Chains A and B, each alone.
Chain A
Amino acid sequence: KQEVTQIPAALSVPEGENLVLNCSFTDSAIYNLQWFRQDPGKGLTSLLLIQSSQREQTSGRLNASLDKSSGRSTLYIAASQPGDSATYLCAVFGNEKLTFGTGTRLTIIP
Chain B
Amino acid sequence: SQTIHQWPATLVQPVGSPLSLECTVEGTSNPNLYWYRQAAGRGLQLLFYSVGIGQISSEVPQNLSASRPQDRQFILSSKKLLLSDSGFYLCAWSPSNRGPQETQYFGPGTRLLVL
Q: Which residues of A contact B (CB under 8 A)?
A: 4, 31-32, 34, 36, 41-46, 49, 89, 91, 93, 96-103
Asked if B25 is at the interface of the complex by the 8 Å CB criterion, the answer is no
Does B101 lie within 8 Å of A31, measured CB to CB? yes
Give the secondary structure class of A's interface: strand
Does A42 lie within 8 Å of B101, measured CB to CB? no
Q: Give chain B residues whose Cβ lies under 8 Å from the Cβ of A93.
A: 100-101
Number of A-B contacts (CB under 8 A): 47
Give the secondary structure class of B's interface: loop
Does B49 lie within 8 Å of A97, measured CB to CB? yes
How close is A92's CB to chain B, nearest CB, in angstroms?
A: 10
Cα–Cα, bound, A62→B100 (Å): 25
How close is A44's CB to chain B, nearest CB, in angstroms?
A: 4
